[in-house]
Structure 1
Amino acid sequence: MRVGAIVAEDGIWHGGDLAMARVLFPEAPQPWVDLSTGINPIPYPLPALPLSLWTRLPGADDEAALIAAARSAYRVPQQADIVAAPGTQILIELLPRLAPAGPVAILGPTYAEHGHAWRKAGFTVTEAPTPAEAATVVVVNPNNPDGRVLSRVELADLAAHCTERGGLLVVDEAFADFTPETSIVPDLPAGTIVLRSFGKTYGLAGLRLGFAIGAVDPIARLRAALGPWSVAGPALHVGAQALADADWLAVTGAERARDAARLDALLAPHGRIAGGTSLFRLLETPAAPALFDRLGRHGIYVRRFQNAPQRLRFGLPGDEAGWSRLRSALADDAPEATPPA
């Protein structure tokens, strides 16, 4: 099977596309074990939601409660501002409105939607392991997919580099919740916008909730671009409760770190563990295309990369059945059974 023959309409491969998995592997056993995302497989327990959250427009008090919880959870400085959005993807699309004309440097390889958004907005984009002389620099920290982390000192130096050129530093901290020491938010430098994602850590990606943090003026411009009622009432309610639950975050962070170590042990015989976070691990092996194909035939979908065919990214199984299927598929002794009736 030519597993690389089908791509997304925008040319970017994403995780979580089980429709694609079914096309590639129509005879795979069901249900699928989807390890192609970096989403926590054991979500935050949803609270009971009042019917009114579905029948009325989101209220200002609900939004204020969410923002207060987010400011505390992300340790936002008093002089900085924060805006909520229906996921960080829309914020990625809006960020080019805040930057001056000129080239953009993205520290990569990394999440492809950053470069895609800036190119759509007419910017010249360079993706490289180190920043060029561009005024605007984008960093994913911890990085997706290899988990690379720049220190606060390194990020502050990058922010100074951008400020001197009248530009912007964008730091995407989508995977920073379990490693708060990596976040630059508490010491937010001038000219910096930080993105935070809710759905990945809390396992509720379908809720569509994300945040941008920065100085008052650029955050006000993002808020105006988003318009009123940009975040749904249920997302405001669930987000406020979850972000205030520090105990859940601490316990879950420790559990996912143990799961990541367990996954490393399973993957190590099959190649080099090239990094990752506690929500996903990156495997490098010349046999990656064959391994992707083998796993897919066993109903296990992992993340591949069109520009790095030797890499596969593995999310975490969410239960023992998923762990067992992954272990068997890696050993190539899993029965390619007919889907259960």
Structure 2
Amino acid sequence: MTPHSPAGPEAHEPDLRHHGDAEVRADGADLVDLAVNVRTGTPPAWLRARLAATLAELAAYPDGTAARAAVAARHGRPVDEVLLTSGAAEAFVLLARVLTPRHITVVHPQFTEPEAALRDAGHPVHRALLSPDGGFRLTAGAVPEESDLVVLGNPTNPTSVLHPAAAVAALARPGRTLVIDEAFMDTVPGESESLATARELPGRVVVLRSLTKTWGLAGLRIGYVLGPAPLIAGLAAAQPLWPVSTPALVAAEACSAPAALDEAEQAAHELGLRRDHLLKGLAALPEVRVHGEPAASFVLVELPGADAVRERLRERGFAVRRGDTFPGLGPDWLRVAVRDEGTTDAFLAALAEALG
């Protein structure tokens, strides 16, 4: 497809290293955080207790055997198809260092770390920009046929679009590595469009997961990769010794248990109700437009002068994520995290003032 940007061709190169935490920490202001997509009120008390108990084990070197087995069982895969990583971000770096693709396509707008890691490793990257007019959905021909490495998110950050599993699977080809960032898939009830258990597709299909968002573990750094055993072995060989700490390994094991999965499922249902509340409030503001059908723990909005509105929201005590650092977007976009109804109502009131 022809690359598309809401404001025409990009006039600047987006800052691929900018992240939502910078919006919250800037100027040392005490702001309500709508810029970072970590679920509030986490980690839950039972998980904090499990993590605290690991302090007595820190004299020993980490052993990932139990955690790896738990993740493998959670997704119905052999253990040798699972790699535990220091957050999903490490997985992007490992893939960039280990793979030797000739034609890379990163589907944007999406999380910028995969492209940043690929560029840091010296790989040229082609950007396939999805259109807001089409709800940021995958379309036929979006990915060039010659691409032997394709990276996309599902549900996608920052658009919150959940691509059908069939549409994502259709990108798999012999000779192609398809990398799917499913960091927010556990915010979707039933994880209905996940390919985490897909093992029979052509080529190499790699799924990345994170425990950061639902469980509030951004500071702990724990994620994992699911993929063909030979590739997993190659990625593991590129890791340093003991790349994942003992507390992080315990978190991976604990959050893969049936009781934790039930809790995550309930949280996903509650999130859907809170997201509907936010969307209803945004729909009452004529200047604000939401493209597509948001499915994750955040909403991407388009509004004229969004950059200035973001600053006025800061003055009113709210931090939201700027959109112009995502390829395919520009200064008229903001990403807003879904929060409880009270926080959302206060934000909507502040947004109405900022727009006025």
Shorter-chain TM range is 0.7 to 0.9
**1:85 matches 2:85:** yes
**1:328 matches 2:349:** yes
> What is the rounded CA distance, in whole Å, between the counterparts of 2:242 and 2:36 in structure 1?
28
**1:106–1:127 Cα contact (<8 Å) kept:** yes
Helix, strand or coil for the counterpart of 2:41? coil
**2:37–2:298 Cα contact (<8 Å) kept:** yes
**1:172 matches 2:181:** yes
Distance 1:276 1:39, change over 3 A: farther
Instruction: Return the offset for 1:295.
Output: 0.7
**1:16 matches 2:21:** yes
Identify the match of residue 286 of structure 1 among 298, 301, 304.
Answer: 304
Q: Deviations over 1:196-245 (max 9, x none)?
A: 11111212211110101101111011112113321111111123112211
Identity %: 31
Q: Which residue of 1 aligns with 2:290?
A: 273
| Superposed CA RMSD | 2.3
**Paired amino acid for 1:266:** G
Give unmatched runs, 5+ long, in structure 2. Answer: 1-13, 131-141
**2:23–2:35 Cα contact (<8 Å) kept:** no
Equivalent pairs counted in the alignment come to 310
Distance 1:297 1:278, change over 3 A: same
**1:248 matches 2:263:** yes
Distance 1:253 1:19, change over 3 A: closer
Q: Which residue of 2 aligns with 1:38?
A: 37
Distance 1:153 1:317, change over 3 A: closer
> What is the rounded CA distance, in whole Å, between the counterparts of 2:60 and 2:80 in structure 1?
30
**2:274–2:341 Cα contact (<8 Å) kept:** no
Q: 1:297-336 to 2 correspondence within 5 Å?
A: 297-306=315-324, 307-317=329-339, 320=342, 322-332=343-353
> What is the rounded CA distance, in whole Å, between the counterparts of 1:95 and 1:68 in structure 2?
22
**2:24–2:33 Cα contact (<8 Å) kept:** no
Distance 1:243 1:147, change over 3 A: same
Instruction: Return the offset for 1:35.
Output: 0.8
Helix, strand or coil for the counterpart of 1:42? coil
Q: Which residue of 2 aligns with 1:131?
A: 143
> What is the rounded CA distance, in whole Å, between the counterparts of 2:68 and 2:320 in structure 1?
34
Q: Deviations over 1:307-340 (max 9, x none)?
A: 42111000123584x335313312329xxxxxxx
Identify the match of residue 54 of structure 1 among 47, 54, 58.
Answer: 58
Give unmatched runs, 5+ long, in structure 1. Answer: 1-8, 334-341
**1:143–1:149 Cα contact (<8 Å) kept:** yes
> What is the rounded CA distance, in whole Å, between the counterparts of 1:318 and 1:209 in structure 2?
26
Helix, strand or coil for the counterpart of 2:336? strand
**1:193 matches 2:206:** yes
Q: Deviations over 1:93-126 (max 9, x none)?
A: 1112343341201111211111111112122211
Out of 145-154 and 189-198, give the one that drifted further: 145-154
Instruction: Return the offset for 1:271.
Output: 0.7
> What is the rounded CA distance, in whole Å, between the counterparts of 1:255 and 1:243 in structure 2?
20
**1:141–1:150 Cα contact (<8 Å) kept:** yes
Helix, strand or coil for the counterpart of 1:119? helix
Distance 1:266 1:19, change over 3 A: closer
> What is the rounded CA distance, in whole Å, between the counterparts of 2:214 and 2:344 in structure 1?
20
**1:77–1:187 Cα contact (<8 Å) kept:** no
Identify the match of residue 160 of structure 2 among 147, 150, 157.
Answer: 147
> What is the rounded CA distance, in whole Å, between the counterparts of 1:272 and 1:10 in structure 2?
24
**1:44–1:204 Cα contact (<8 Å) kept:** yes
Q: 1:207-246 to 2 correspondence within 5 Å?
A: 207-244=220-257, 245-246=260-261
